[in-house]
Structure 1
Amino acid sequence: MPQNQHESQYGNQYASLGGRTAVVTGAASGIGEAAAVLLAASGARVALLARREDRLEAVAEKIRADGGEALVVVADVTDGASVDAAADRIHAAYGRVDLVVNNAGVMLANAVDDGRIDEWQQMIDTNVTGALRVIRAFTADLVAAAAEGRAADLVDVSSIAAHLTFPHFAVYSATKAAVTHLSTSLRTEFGPRDVRVTNIEPGLTRTELAMYLDNAEVTGQLDGLFAEFGGLSAAEIADVVAYVTSRPRHVNLRQIMVLPTRQA
């Protein structure tokens, strides 16, 4: 019998993920939660990283109830010491990591002339520098796994906002463009050592990101876009994460835009 709804929906096509050790940041909700659940259902051991311990425990309980293995690691990607401590705990519990999903992010939106430096700094620290901290913490693991002839994956979750322009999202879009370009550049360093780097750019996706917007005009615009185009679910983006990391190790799907069919 299928272990859970994810395995039931997608069958056993991700069986090659069995035995792998994954780290998923932003795993308390949304795309991170969905990716962690699906990777675990496919046989990977998953370390769940985020700031909200109660939410992480709920995700871990879901995974364990379905027969999967999960480790709760409370960490803040904007704090280098926190990320390093998280890596130490993961290594102590699971050993070497061979799959990293860099998903933690924050989306805030106000006009640049509002001068919200606090928001700009939060997005840069989380979306860009936070991703780099995680990459630094696990690069040696990925390189070593690849050297042993095993699949090794770095998956960076960016956004279609890296390419499209939206009023009030200039800084958010800039951070996601940085993530996209970072992923492309890292392939020149990691690819020759057989570490795959994949950049996933979701379009309109229903997650908690919009909950933190404090601009009623922007919130209304987003509601209108969802009404017009529909939206993807976090589970549908998680399916893409599992798909790219389950390919033969010599196949690197380097960049994938995932949009609702009606979104241009």
Structure 2
Amino acid sequence: MAKANVKEMKASTRARAGKGGAREVRRAGQVPGTIYGDDKEPLNVALDYKELTSRIFAGHFLTTIYDLDIDGKKHRVIPRDYQLDPVKDFPIHVDFQRLGEGAQIRVSIPVHVRNAEVSPGVKRGGAVNIVTHSIDVRCPADAIPEAIEVDLSNLDITDSVHLSEIKLPDNVRPLLAGDATLVTIVPPSGVIEEQRAAAAAAAAGPADAAAAPAAGAAPAAGAAGGDKKAAAPAAGGDKKPAEKKPADKK
């Protein structure tokens, strides 16, 4: 599990705080920022717009340690928040947390997968489903893992990997209350339909077999009943008509 590297970035102090000072910094092609923490007074700074923008959109900005070179003095910090213009999507402010010696911080670590191409489940048509995209952990500021890596080389369809199965460094403690499912291999839709159809057939099979004799007996009973009805007129036909008595002679 690789650790994040410490990177460098230049900044300068800004004399004016507040909205007026921030507008002046932006008009000069810079981005206003603030450094706080480590039981020291907040420090208002200004950063180069192009450099900060490229750092933010390169990814991992909020999990990267920076040595800010401010007027020749380095300040070790970690970005804690940044604001983007709601319309044009460019940075308009950034906050840094100052990191003292041996500082422990809370940070969100992304979940990355590897060896998906050799996964038996993927080879059979399954899809990789990242259930948990990041994990909040507490760790030393100078030992932030770059990512939590999940190896899929042995995963088949419906298999999953949980956080408890991942070996974390001793100084990295997850802050989740329970054991999180990180990644699972989802079966393709065709396989799901086949499994459902097979399960339905297996459940319905014994009932259909038991019902078959009763269904077959119905026509026989009907046929017998039909014979009786057919025989009734014949029995009635055997009777002779009643003889007429001769009329009494006067």
Fold match (TM-score > 0.5): no
Q: Which has the higher contact order (CA 8 A, sep 6+)?
A: 1
Give the structure with the higher percent helix: 1
The two structures have a TM-score, normalised by structure 2, of 0.22
The two structures have a TM-score, normalised by structure 1, of 0.21
Give the structure with the higher percent strand: 2
